[in-house]
Chain A
Amino acid sequence: MHKIYQITAIALFTAFLLFTELFSFQSASAAGISIDAGLTPAENRWIFRSQVRYMQRDNDQLGSQREMKAYMFPVVIAYGLRSDLTVMARQAFIRREMSMMGQSTTNSGLGDLLMLSKYRLIRINTPGYTLGVAPTLGLEFPTGKDEFTSSSYDLHFGSFFSGRLRSLGMDLNITYIWNGMAETGGAAVDPGNEFSLQAAFAYQVGIGSYSNFALAPVLESSYLKISADSEDGETLADTGESILWLSPGFKITWSSFIFESLVQFPVWQDQEGLQTERDPTFLVGIRLMN
């Protein structure tokens, strides 16, 4: 019977996403809180994860008042195929407003579909600590709307490391995205590859006598390097960037629900050529597990 409630809840949440589409705002990119990434879920376990991300770019170095505001609604569904193998699918809805010299255009639609697998390479559980290492391999399909697709099959690979020392959690995620691994011919520009490194710390504080409620302050640091785009083998000017974020946030876990929020402050960024700069990114999200 409880499955009916869960299905109803997911249906209502989907309705919420559609509602926000009708409500109309702007658009975006990227991942979220990286806690637990190295710990694979139980066999046969479903995890539903969704977020609202808001990002903005301005401070145009070209002086043409370029600005971009973007919302992203990524939805991830993960399933523990075996205790050592997790499969995931990620689909994002994006809404983006770009303006220049007072003129603005708004686009919205689905981004590319990402299929990802995660393998439990190491999992050590002891009374004092837990350690998990899980490499990932995935493929991003060019299924998105014209404005948001890379028009190529992009290879994602990386590794997640998670350590737990009693209530203290430490996570390290390394990801590389080979954009344009296989072109579909839909775009002349070959987007640059991406390298990201995330380190996260969290401290779980149990609340209540039944141990089904916990609050965890989170501090993440993320580095992202996007190589310059190219066309016909020539590197394009004003593309490519390096950013370092420092991100305080929190995670609330109640039984099979997680509510999380984070603000990513760009503490350092190097934009190639004359580009706009990134402002802080705001994120709220939930995870629902069976």
Chain B
Amino acid sequence: MKNFIIVSALFTASVFLFITMIACGSSQKNISDTSYEESEVRIYEVYGMDCPGCHGGLENLVNKVPGVKSSRANWEKQSLQVVLDSENDVDDQSIYEAIKKANFTPGERLQ
């Protein structure tokens, strides 16, 4: 039992190290850092997200759609905010396809 506590403590320490490292990396794609100037912002309903862990898979796929600058999902609001490059004409269908590839279901476009 004593050994388990020691190993768990080491394990937990490695977890925090993990989180710190990844937080440093993931902060670069934070939508709040994105300038909205000359950008179009859309909001879609997305069903099927049940925790913050769902965000990354969805955002990665949506971010790959040509013309998408960044995106942010919100599992509690069941929504996805997408920032588009104004120079590209991105159709909703491309966003819907990306949502489906993430195993979620698109609802209405709210904005």
Mark contacts of A6-48 with chain B using CB atoms, 8 A cut-off: 1 yes-contact digit, 0 otherwise.
1011001100100110010110000000001001111111000
Confirm or deny: A136 has a beta carbon within 8 angstroms of a beta carbon on chain B.
Answer: no
Chain B residues contacting A213 (CB-CB under 8 Å) are 52
**Interface residue stretch chosen among A57-65, A104-112, A252-260:** A252-260
Size bracket, chain B contacts:
35 or more
For A26, list chain B residues within 8 Å (CB): 3
A256-B56, A284-B11 given as contacts; is B48 within 8 A of A123 (CB)? yes
Q: Known interface pairs A120-B103, A127-B78. Does A257 touch B11 (Cβ–Cβ under 8 Å)?
A: no
* A255 touching B18, Cβ below 8 Å: no
**Contacts of B52 on A, CB cut-off 8 Å?**
206, 211-214, 253-255
| Residues of B contacting A: mostly | helix
**Given contact pairs A6-B25, A127-B78, A130-B48, A83 touches B14 in the complex (Cβ within 8 A):** no
Closest CB in chain B relative to A82 CB, distance in Å = 8
**B55 near A125: Cβ-Cβ < 8 Å:** no
Query: A225 contacts the other chain (Cβ, under 8 Å)?
Result: no
- B7-A54 in contact (CB<8A): yes
CB-based contact A211/B75 at 8 Å: yes
Q: Which residues of B contact A4 (CB under 8 A)?
A: 25
List of 6 A-B pairs having minimum Cβ-Cβ separation, nearest first: A2-B25, A42-B57, A125-B48, A5-B25, A125-B105, A42-B102
- Give 28 A-B contacts (CB < 8 Å), ordered by A residue: A5-B21, A6-B25, A9-B18, A9-B21, A12-B14, A12-B18, A13-B18, A16-B10, A23-B7, A42-B101, A43-B61, A44-B61, A45-B56, A45-B57, A45-B60, A71-B3, A71-B4, A125-B48, A125-B105, A164-B50, A211-B76, A214-B51, A214-B52, A257-B15, A257-B53, A288-B18, A288-B22, A290-B56
With A40-B103, A256-B26 given, can you name 12 additional A-B contacts, CB distance below 8 Å?
A: A5-B24, A12-B21, A13-B17, A39-B50, A39-B103, A43-B61, A45-B60, A123-B48, A125-B48, A255-B52, A258-B53, A290-B60
A interface residues, Cβ below 8 angstroms from B: 1-6, 8-9, 12-13, 16, 19-20, 23, 25-26, 36, 39-45, 52, 54, 71, 80, 83, 120, 123, 125-127, 130, 164, 169, 204, 206, 211-214, 216, 253-259, 282, 284, 286-290
Q: Which B residues are closer than 8 A to A by beta carbons?
A: 1, 3-4, 7-8, 10-12, 14-15, 17-19, 21-26, 28-29, 45, 47-48, 50-53, 55-58, 60-61, 74-78, 100-105, 107
